[in-house]
Amino acid sequence: MPEVVVEAYTQALRELGNPASTHAHGQSAGERLEAARERIARRLGTDPALVTLTGGGTESINLAIKGLFWAAERSGRFERLAEPPIVMIAAGEHHATIEAAEWLRDTQGAQLEVLPLDRDGVLRPEPLRKALEGFGPERVALLSFLWANNEVGSVLPVRELAAIARAAGVPTHVDAVAALGQLPIDFAELGVDALSVSAHKIGGPVGVGALLIARHASVDPLLHGGSQQRARSGTQNVAGAVAFAAALDHAYGERSNGDSESFEARIARLREMRDRLVAGVLETVPDAVLRGAAPTRDELGSGDPGLDLRLAGNAHFTFPGCQGDSLVFLLDAAGVSASVGSACQAGVAEISHVLLAMGVPESEAIGSLRFTLSPGTTEAEISALLAALPDAVSRARVAGLA
Amino acid sequence: MKILAAMSGGVDSAVAAARAVEAGHEVVGVHLALSRMPGTLRTGSRGCCTIEDSMDARRVAGLLEIPFYVWDFSERFAEDVVDDFIAEYAAGRTPNPCLRCNEKIKFAALLDKAIALGFDAVATGHYATLEQGAHGRELHRASAWAKDQSYVLGVLTADQLAHCYFPLGDTPSKDLIRAEAAERGIQVARKPDSHDICFIPDGDTRGWLDERLDRTPGQIVDESGAVLGEHDGALGYTVGQRRGLAIGRPADDGKPRYVLSIRPVSNQVVVGPKDHLAISRIAGGRYSLTGEPGFDLAEPFACEVQIRAHADPVPATARLVEITAEERTELHRAEATHEIVVDIDLEHAEPLIGVAPGQSAVLYLGTRVLGQFTIDRAMPLGDPAPETQDLAAVESKA
């Protein structure tokens, strides 16, 4: 956790008070909470009234998907339908989205439709347009997709997708958990109904997140009891909100890097390091395959010349003939931390459902490895990785055949 | 040495890893995910890859300050252990999946991967010892026979033994291991022992098999081949079983009849009197040797045979023979060209009771493990098989 966030967090923890109480302590806590909410809203391009603080990204996503579905059901919209209402999600979503949508299918009478990704892991506008036309937008209870994929780092054309959904009148949720801190987020400009973020992705505390809910949107709560926030009951986490605000300032504000460095400059520097890492890996292991979008700038012409189609801090490869967990072990031993993607609660590395959704065969998906860079990553660390990689790959290949 | 400690989440493998660290080795812990049962916490028996076991192993590794990983062998386990288990039952045999797991997973797939990744040996919490003999490394019983687990290691070969490490082999009792675990601050010190078959968490093997194998009705016959009744699937019967036999008429002598054997190809359940359950000879084709024996197996040799993990060893004479075309029956393993034949030494031991094809027979010379085979045929006392006379002739000559 960055020192400025730790300071803000610990200072807030020292100050007692329930923000909902009317006595002086409570009022002061309430002020700190609302001041934090304002800062959070400003950084995300929205108004404080639209920020529902939650217990993290998973809760935000569950609240959005179930809450939008229940609210639409309660409005009587589904009564006119001859067929079940549709929950539409992209393939390769985070498990919070997949399992919340499956739960709606299995217990709440929804029909689940999964939109295909292209081989870069991107949901393109065309499949969305086709699906909405095919089923009829009136049947679609909600649409949910990632802004950026947490595993392979691909950035979706969210503005275009959001515009299509908006034109069709389909309530839309964007999971921006992985995008936070790496892409500028402007909720008002995006024009979707709901957007999820989580504080720990940008150095804030674990267990703090937010769901932004547009004014016109209806989201039924998951948690009842006290109605402290628009879509959530429960005493609010003042220190968590203060720390989240501090983390957003740290992520998007100017920071000292010798000189003062803006967010844009920091991301540009991160992107350069990533590109060096990608080039270095492909040079040392020629048959490695970069997965996710190639870092070509603004291929879709989204009008954001500063953005590319890949998160600045993500480099994801498959290494033919290797098992990801062998590589993780061998690189770990060489002092390089990499990740095989997701693991179940027991710690078993799972074959990435994202890679499978991109059409990567299981035999190749098994050798996947993700490197995550941060602005604090050094050239020496990248060199250490590139030095350790060839031996790790050749050993892992032997182990893979064992 | 660089040691890969296989950590199940139980107390034995935890103490084994701790001892490996204390002995000055470079140790990395690994938990094997063998089957996928998401959301399973505790299952009555040991689960493979239950969250609790994985977390317990991780906590121990944290305590020992060693790196820890979870490796997924669930596919190999399904193919080599679970599918084999089902196929053996389908063929009328009663398999021991723990031996298969040691043979194919822990000391094969895992060991191969460990060696490829630069490790010298795999450490486990088995109670068994390794000794240097005249012909190389030998596997011996643990010094405390009550906890000895050399039976389930009987499948190991010389190559595998060369890369094994059993830090618990010389511990006199399990209580001492638990005490040592408590002293070391290992939180699983009082965790119950594992039992049953790990991939059948509720212990209901019949029910589990019923979901996976079709029952084909067939005949119940006596030893002469006379049809006595019908069964609804040979799979449902166990050698030694008395109840549940739908036989209309009583035996001529009026005595109860027991399941003596199951004929998988003709789908017949063979029944007969209780005394025919007493087995004096066993034979089987799927065999392996625990290192170089140092003598010719084709010559009859005195040894001891153990047919269950917790059975007593029984004195016997064994030899390796070629299976001739004339002798081959439907009980012989189709792919086997040779088999090990073991005759119980009836002067010094009672015949074996309740032997079912599929069980593993492990051969010992004193404390030393010689090798093992899977029982294909179990022959009762007084079986007029001609080999019996032949063997007696050989012995008297010797």
- The helix (run of H) or strand (run of E) holding residue B343 is strand B338-344
Sequence-distant (6+) residues with CB within 8 A of A400 are A321, A322, A323, A326, A367
Confidence of residue B388 (pLDDT cuts 50, 70, 90): very low
Give the pLDDT of residue B43. 38
Among A15-29, A300-314, B318-332, the least confident range: A300-314
Q: Provide mean pLDDT across the span B2-30.
A: 95
A256 Cβ under 8 Å from any chain B Cβ: no
Give the pLDDT of residue A107. 97
- Contact list in A for residue B31 (CB cut-off 8 A) is 346-347
CB B245 within 8 A of CB B257: yes
Give the pLDDT of residue A199. 97
Whether A96 shows a pLDDT value over 90: the answer reads yes
Give the pLDDT of residue A370. 92
Give the pLDDT of residue B161. 95
Q: Provide mean pLDDT across the span B160-164.
A: 95
Which amino acid makes up residue A366?
I
Give the pLDDT of residue A297. 56
Strands (E), A265-396: 289-290, 314-318, 368-372
Helix extents (H) in A21-56: 24-43
Question: pLDDT tens for residues A218-252?
Answer: 999 999 998 899 999 999 999 999 999 999 999 99
Question: pLDDT tens for residues B196-251?
Answer: 788 887 778 888 888 898 888 999 999 888 898 899 888 778 888 887 777 766 67
Give the pLDDT of residue A346. 61
Confidence of residue A104 (pLDDT cuts 50, 70, 90): very high
Closest by Cβ to B113, choosing from A328, A333, A402: A402
Question: pLDDT tens for residues A286-326?
Answer: 999 999 988 765 544 455 554 578 999 999 999 999 988 88
Residues 320-359 of A with CB under 8 A from B: 325-326, 328-330, 332-333, 343-349
* DSSP single-letter state for residue B15: H
Chain B contact probe: residue of A329, A337, A352, A368 with most B CBs at under 10 A: A329
CB B123 within 8 A of CB B101: no
- Contact list in A for residue B38 (CB cut-off 8 A) is 344-345
Among A78-82, A275-279, A343-347, A392-396, the least confident range: A343-347
Closest by Cβ to A402, choosing from B49, B55, B116: B116
**Is the pLDDT higher at B162 or at A302?**
B162
Q: In this structure, how many other beta carbons lie within 10 angstroms of the beta carbon of residue A10? A: 11
Confidence of residue A345 (pLDDT cuts 50, 70, 90): low
Whether A355 shows a pLDDT value over 50: the answer reads yes
CA closest to A330 among chain B residues = B117
- Contact list in A for residue B28 (CB cut-off 8 A) is 329
Give the pLDDT of residue B389. 36
Give the pLDDT of residue B13. 94
* DSSP single-letter state for residue B239: T
Give the pLDDT of residue B36. 61
How many cross-chain Cβ pairs, A to B, lie less than 8 Å apart?
Answer: 61
The Cα–Cα gap between B56 and B59 comes to 5
Give the pLDDT of residue A226. 86
Q: Closest Cα partner for A143 from A175, A109, A108?
A: A175
User: Cβ–Cβ of A343/B54 closer than 8 Å?
Assistant: no
Sequence-distant (6+) residues with CB within 8 A of A259 are none
Q: Provide mean pLDDT across the span A328-350.
A: 78
The Cα–Cα gap between A328 and B373 comes to 39
* DSSP single-letter state for residue A285: S
User: Cβ–Cβ of B70/A349 closer than 8 Å?
Assistant: yes
Confidence of residue B287 (pLDDT cuts 50, 70, 90): very high
Give the pLDDT of residue B121. 97
The torsion angles phi and psi of A59, rounded to 5 degrees, stand at -65, -40
In whole angstroms, what separates CA A397 from the centre of its chain? 32
User: Cβ–Cβ of B72/A349 closer than 8 Å?
Assistant: yes
**A59-73, A225-239, B86-100, B168-182: range with highest mean pLDDT:** A59-73
Give the pLDDT of residue B392. 38
Catalytic: B101? yes
The Cα–Cα gap between B206 and B187 comes to 35
User: Cβ–Cβ of B50/A346 closer than 8 Å?
Assistant: yes
| Per-chain mean pLDDT for chain B | 86
Give the pLDDT of residue A142. 97
Q: Provide mean pLDDT across the span A70-98.
A: 95
Sequence-distant (6+) residues with CB within 8 A of B114 are B4, B121, B122, B163
Give the pLDDT of residue A294. 81
Give the distance from residue B67's alpha carbon to the nearest chain A alpha carbon, in angstroms. Answer: 9
Q: Provide mean pLDDT across the span A125-138.
A: 96
The Cα–Cα gap between A335 and A388 comes to 9
Whether B187 shows a pLDDT value over 70: the answer reads yes
User: Cβ–Cβ of B69/A328 closer than 8 Å?
Assistant: yes
Question: pLDDT tens for residues B70-124?
Answer: 888 888 899 999 999 999 888 888 888 989 999 999 999 999 999 999 999 999 9
| Per-chain mean pLDDT for chain A | 91
The Cα–Cα gap between A121 and A123 comes to 7
Confidence of residue B130 (pLDDT cuts 50, 70, 90): very high
Give the pLDDT of residue A258. 72
Give the distance from residue A28's alpha carbon to the nearest chain B alpha carbon, in angstroms. Answer: 42
- Contact list in A for residue B113 (CB cut-off 8 A) is 326, 399, 402
Rounded to a whole number of angstroms, the distance between the first and last alpha carbons of chain B is: 47
Closest by Cβ to B33, choosing from A328, A348, A401: A348
**Is the pLDDT higher at B356 or at B264?**
B356
